[in-house]
């Protein structure tokens, strides 16, 4: 920093600060001097350029600011940078693109196949230093003036992003499969796995025909062990919940001490909820100068893009921008997130869904927990709370399920640094770690569960926050069933992918982590698949007892089934009752009688997932969202 700059920053008490070069000239064009003084004070506090604070605060739009810059320099202002036909194929960081957007050369097209590489036109979005340089140059010479135009920085940046789109899309689709093919669900089942599955099925069939009693009993016992194992996890969570203390974190950091935080929201066919979403996200307690919210849309989703542009047209939310993902397969949320992640500058990244309403303090709590945690703390899951739980029976059951999971089971797993099956929303990450492990798998339809496991395999820890995100639950079976099918299909995908090298998986996770993974993925899925058969066995066993004395083995199995069901049902109720109390939803305990009915529905979804796993493994059944029925 030069001595001249030091003198510029010096001010006597009570004397207004001298304005920076990048906003001082605005006074003669009618800008309020008091507003500019406030901007200057905040810019010095945050150690940011005054023009950045001016445009990110919403006091002046980028178009308006650069229009005045053009007038000050005597140059033409062009609102939209013309398209440049030259693609950018070499890797460029987003910070690099930000710098390139200050001076953007535009090549002219002679014909559809020929580019003019002669004298080019430059579209400038000058910062403080470039503005000084241009003013000095124009005082001595006007030679380059005819080749210079002014455009907004966001317009130049969008131009560069479009030129990089092919490279960004290729990375979004193929990066994980290229670098870690053993962790990619692009090919769900390998040839070796297919052979093992066929051999296992054939051997089981042969043994069943030869030992028609022993094999069914053995399979029955294995299913019960998985069922009891999941009940044991819930009991562990309930016991831990009784002794768990809520730590009060310090979240009142000064704005200048905060890093840039990136917020990603993948949108598809969400035109009806965009305005409500942006209003909710604008309430996040984080300085707008250090907050970037990216609405990630498919380029051919015209209605959602129109809704986004409509909400943002008045510059009311300058920290929000739109990312257009070129339309291609797979049409999945993780592919869109991978594309947008390459355009993030934040030290931390959080993912929200279209219907989310996060607690305004959530980012500050996440930042404090990251700061206070060990270096391997790479992810934080905020609890998801259902706010439309009172709509009908289905939404109440969904609320009970989410309460037991996000306020009970996940905090218990996180406290012991066991693999955490993340929820698809409100995941906070250290960006460098997220990029290092390959980000999201674009071919996995439950990218959250897969990512949680890959974090654990990389030696990273995922924990849970207390500040919630409020979501809406499906209220119609026709919406709930495809969503739950997708979840089951993704758990099958995750299990198949990560058990390709089962010894390596065991080495990565350790004994406790390996068992936890099996129970949370395979155990959950197989429990849902076998529920109808166990129910059928219990009913037929009771009928046999009523009519005649059944075999002893069948009586023993019936007793084991009833004990397992009573233990699983009772422990689930204990955990759900305690977590519902945390959220003030104790009235829903009266719905516990309906849990077995709800579990039968999950069985339907699980079998539907099995069929889709072979027919259309990468199909993403989108969950539609609607506006909330009532205001806050």
Least confident window among 197-201, 367-371, 480-484, 625-629: 625-629
**Domains of the chain from N-terminus onward:** 76-174 (no CATH), 258-355 (3.90.550.10)
Q: Average of pLDDT values for 14-22? A: 75
- Confidence label for 338 from pLDDT (cuts 50, 70 and 90): very high
Extract the tokens encoding 588: 């829903």
Question: For residue 514, is it left (φ>0), alpha (ψ between -120 and 50) or beta?
Answer: alpha
Q: Is pLDDT at 111 greater than 50 in this prediction?
A: no
Q: How far apart are CA 523 and CA 516, in angstroms?
A: 9
Identify which of 1, 3, 134 has the alpha carbon closest to the alpha carbon of residue 73.
134
- For the segment 53-79, what is each residue's pLDDT rounded down to a tens digit? 999 988 899 999 999 999 999 999 998
H/E element, 122: strand 115-124
How far is 309 from 306, CA to CA, in rounded Å?
5
Tell me how many helices (H) and strands (E) the chain has: 23, 14
CA distance 54 to 262: 20
| Long-range contacts of residues 56-60, Cβ cutoff 8 Å, at least 24 apart | 56/288, 56/289, 56/318, 56/319, 57/288, 57/289, 57/318, 58/288, 58/315, 58/316, 58/317, 58/318, 59/35, 60/26, 60/31
Residues 245-269 have a mean pLDDT of 82
Question: What's the rounded mean pLDDT across residues 608-618?
Answer: 90
Cβ–Cβ < 8 Å for 449, 183: no
pLDDT digit string, tens, across residues 30-53 = 888 999 999 999 999 999 999 999
Does the pLDDT of residue 630 top 70, yes or no?
no
pTM of the model: 0.90
pLDDT digit string, tens, across residues 150-163: 999 999 999 899 98
What pLDDT band is residue 117 in, cutting at 50, 70 and 90?
A: very low
Let me know: does 292 contact 344? Beta carbons within 8 Å. yes
What does the angle CA 233 – CA 421 – CA 179 come to, to the nearest 5 degrees? 140
- Residue 420 near residue 426, CB atoms below 8 Å: no
Residue 414 half-sphere exposure toward CB, CA atoms < 13 A: 25
- Percent of the chain surpassing pLDDT 70: 93
């Amino acid at each position: 920093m030069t001595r001249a700059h030091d003198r510029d920053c010096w001010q006597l008490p009570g004397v207004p600060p001298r304005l920076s070069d990048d906003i001082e000239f605005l006074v003669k064009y009618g800008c309020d001097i008091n507003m500019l003084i406030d901007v200057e004070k905040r810019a010095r506090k945050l150690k940011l350029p005054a023009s950045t604070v001016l445009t990110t605060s919403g006091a002046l739009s980028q178009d308006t600011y650069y229009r005045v810059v053009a007038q000050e320099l005597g140059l033409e202002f062009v609102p939209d940078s013309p398209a440049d036909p030259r693609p950018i194929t070499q890797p460029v960081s987003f910070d690099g693109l930000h710098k390139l957007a200050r001076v953007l050369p535009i090549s002219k097209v002679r014909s559809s196949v020929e580019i003019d590489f002669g004298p080019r036109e430059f579209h400038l979005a000058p910062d403080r230093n470039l503005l000084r340089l241009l003013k000095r140059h124009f005082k001595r010479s006007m030679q380059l003036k005819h080749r210079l135009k002014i455009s907004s920085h966001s317009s130049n940046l969008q131009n560069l992003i479009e030129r990089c789109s092919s490279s960004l899309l290729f990375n979004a689709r193929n990066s994980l499969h290229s670098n870690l093919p053993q962790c990619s669900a692009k090919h769900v089942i390998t040839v070796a796995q297919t052979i093992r599955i066929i051999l296992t099925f054939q051997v089981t069939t042969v043994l069943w025909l030869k030992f028609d009693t022993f094999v069914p009993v053995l399979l029955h016992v294995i299913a019960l062990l998985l069922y009891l194992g999941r009940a044991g996890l819930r009991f562990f969570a309930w016991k831990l919940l009784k002794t768990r203390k809520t730590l009060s974190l310090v979240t009142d950091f000064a704005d200048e001490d905060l890093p840039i935080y990136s917020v990603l929201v993948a949108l598809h066919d969400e035109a009806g909820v965009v305005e409500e979403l942006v209003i909710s996200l604008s309430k996040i307690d984080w300085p707008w100068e250090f907050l970037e919210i990216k609405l990630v849309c498919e380029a051919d989703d015209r209605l959602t893009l129109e809704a986004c542009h409509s909400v943002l047209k008045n510059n009311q939310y300058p920290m929000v921008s739109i990312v257009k993902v070129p339309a291609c397969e797979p049409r999945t949320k993780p592919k869109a997130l991978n594309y947008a992640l390459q355009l993030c500058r934040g030290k931390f990244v959080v993912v929200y869904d279209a219907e989310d309403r996060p607690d305004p303090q959530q980012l500050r709590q996440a930042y404090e927990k990251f700061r206070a945690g060990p270096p391997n703390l790479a992810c934080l899951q905020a609890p998801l709370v259902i706010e439309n739980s009172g709509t009908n029976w289905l939404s109440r059951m969904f609320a009970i399920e989410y309460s037991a999971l996000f306020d009970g089971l996940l905090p218990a797993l996180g406290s012991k640094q066991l693999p955490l099956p993340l929820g698809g929303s409100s995941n906070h990450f250290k960006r460098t770690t997220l990029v290092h492990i390959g980000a999201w798998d674009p071919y996995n339809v439950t990218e959250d569960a897969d990512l949680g496991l890959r974090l654990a395999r990389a030696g990273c820890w995922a924990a849970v926050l207390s500040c919630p995100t409020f979501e809406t639950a499906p209220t119609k079976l026709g919406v709930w069933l495809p969503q739950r099918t997708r979840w089951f299909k993704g758990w099958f995908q995750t299990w198949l992918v990560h058990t390709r090298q089962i010894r390596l998986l065991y080495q990565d996770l350790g004994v406790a982590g390996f068992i936890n993974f099996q129970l949370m993925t395979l155990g959950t899925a197989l429990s849902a698949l076998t529920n109808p058969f166990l129910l059928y066995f219990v009913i037929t066993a009771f009928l046999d007892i009523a009519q005649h004395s059944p075999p002893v083995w069948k009586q023993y199995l019936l007793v084991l089934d009833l004990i397992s069901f009573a233990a699983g049902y009772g422990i689930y109720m204990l955990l759900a009752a305690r977590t519902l109390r945390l959220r003030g939803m104790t009235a829903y305990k009266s719905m516990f009688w309906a849990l077995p009915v709800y579990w039968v529905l999950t069985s339907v979804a699980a079998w539907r997932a099995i069929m889709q796993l072979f027919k259309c493994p990468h199909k993403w059944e989108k969950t539609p969202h609607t506006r909330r029925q009532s205001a806050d």
